[in-house]
A and B are shown apart, each in its own frame.
Chain A
Amino acid sequence: EVQLLESGGGLKQPGGSLRLSCAASGFTFSSHAMSWVRQAPGKGLEWVSTISGRGVMTYYADSVKGRFTISRDNSKNTLYLQMNSLRTDDTALYYCAKAASTVTFFDLWGQGTLMTVSS
């Protein structure tokens, strides 16, 4: 079955760190760019970061640049998001998403993992 399964969310204090994971199955993971997209409670979708299929190129939204690091382990079919210097406005449901071959949109999404930043 083609699916993405996120994990690692939880409650963190401002300034803290957390690593999210996304396990992929049912497709050739290394052939596709992968992304993280977040959704704050009651808000719209916000693109966070994207990594190329081989992990060479990475891209970040300005709101997380310098604080978040995207990476992948193609041998484990797993995507990661290391989040440092967490802020309360990072509180959101974090979705892992597979980019289509053109990279321009997302054709497969996980169910999301919730990260809450609060003191």
Chain B
Amino acid sequence: DIQMTQSPSTLSASVGDRVIITCRASQSISSWLAWYQQKPGKAPKLLISRVSTLESGVPSRFSGSGSGTEFTLTISGLQPDDFATYHCQHYDSYSWTFGQGTKVEVK
């Protein structure tokens, strides 16, 4: 089974910072890679699908990139509303795998 590992587990940042979260796969994977944002006590919200496709209504400061085994979520200019936990997710052959999550907290 493919494992998805996010780094860092926790990231301390300030408003305005550029934040990069990495998601690594245990082997080369397809482009079925998505990112979700989850705030405390709330359900996850889809941000990005297919590595880099921004969902409707998601601010353009969010972007995704990568290929093979390494993928990144970048927040360019962190806003107060962005402090949350971010999860990557991969799909392969009717199996859906999440990373362990990255918490972006106030520095």
Contacts and interface: CB of A to CB of B under 8 A. Distances in A.
A41 interface: no
A50 B94 contact: yes
Contacts, number: 58
Interface residues of A, number: 22
Interface stretch (A9-17, A67-75, A80-88, A101-109): A101-109
A46 B98 contact: yes
Contacts of A105: 32, 34, 46, 49, 89, 91, 96
Contacts of A109: 43-45
Q: How large is the interface on B (under 10, 10 to 19, 20 to 34, 35 or more residues)?
A: 20 to 34
Interface in B86-107: 87, 89, 91, 94-101
B95 A44 contact: no
Given A100-B49, A105-B34, A47 B96 contact: yes
Interface in B19-44: 32, 34, 36, 42-44
